[in-house]
Amino acid sequence: MLLSILIGLILTVFAHAMARLAGQYWPKLPVVVISLLLVMIILAVSQWPYVEYYAAVGTIFEHLLGYVTVALAIPLAAMRLNDLPLKPLSRLLLIATLMGAVLPMGMAWLFHLSIPTLLAFATRAVTTPIAINIAQLIHAPAALASLIVILSGLIGAALSPLLLRNLNDERAAGLALGLAAHAIGTVEAWQRGPVAGRYAAFGMAVNGLLTAFWLPMAFHLLKM
């Protein structure tokens, strides 16, 4: 088991280091996507089942995820909100928290997907640790909710260089990535630079907090 943990750690760190190196030569390629593709390729080539790989390294990386969540407090505390127009910013945050739940759930309803799948889409725009908590409160399947959160984060991070290529505003790019693609989008925003990273962390955290506040209450009221 100890050997599996060591090999899993080396594999993961190697994939991350290679992706960071590739990111220096090709800055438009999202580091998260390159590194996860590298992990998947190495696992496939070495015929190491994903379940066994995750069993070896999962606990360590769940701890790391927790530290990253807590570390987001530092860029948030460093933000100077005095210079920002608070009224339009509040309007954008309100639109984002509502759209984050209503748009995917509305589409799932239109396509006649099952109720558990529809509920799992409620937390699509929220970062994983908050999404799991909300999913438990609204009785949505937590595993499917996590999958949707992670994949939509990857989609946002992977295609953001293309979608935001003519934006020329790192604050707007960061905020959009944090609001629409949460933690993985925030990681991608940090690759763009500290300004985009801080705004992404702000957008992700506030969106998560707002959604954690209204969504379980709305479900509770609708069930009454």
Q: Considering only CA atoms, which of 125, 122, 119 is closest in space to residue 141? A: 119
When computed from its CA atoms, the radius of gyration of the chain, rounded to whole angstroms, is 18
Q: Of the two residues 40 and 217, which places its CB atom closer to another protein in the complex?
A: 40
Instruction: Kindly tell me which residue out of 46, 136, 213, 217 binds another protein, with binding defined by CB under 8 A.
Output: 136
Instruction: Kindly tell me which residue out of 122, 124, 138, 206 binds another protein, with binding defined by CB under 8 A.
Output: 124
Does residue 32 interact with another protein by CB under 8 A? yes
Does residue 4 interact with another protein by CB under 8 A? no
Instruction: Kindly tell me which residue out of 4, 76, 141, 216 binds another protein, with binding defined by CB under 8 A.
Output: 76
Instruction: Kindly tell me which residue out of 3, 25, 47, 111 binds another protein, with binding defined by CB under 8 A.
Output: 111
Number of residues located near another protein, criterion CB under 8 A: 99
Shortest distance, position 97 Cβ to another protein, whole Å: 11
Stretch 181-200 residues interacting with another protein (CB under 8 A): 181, 183-187, 190-191, 194, 197
Does residue 1 interact with another protein by CB under 8 A? no
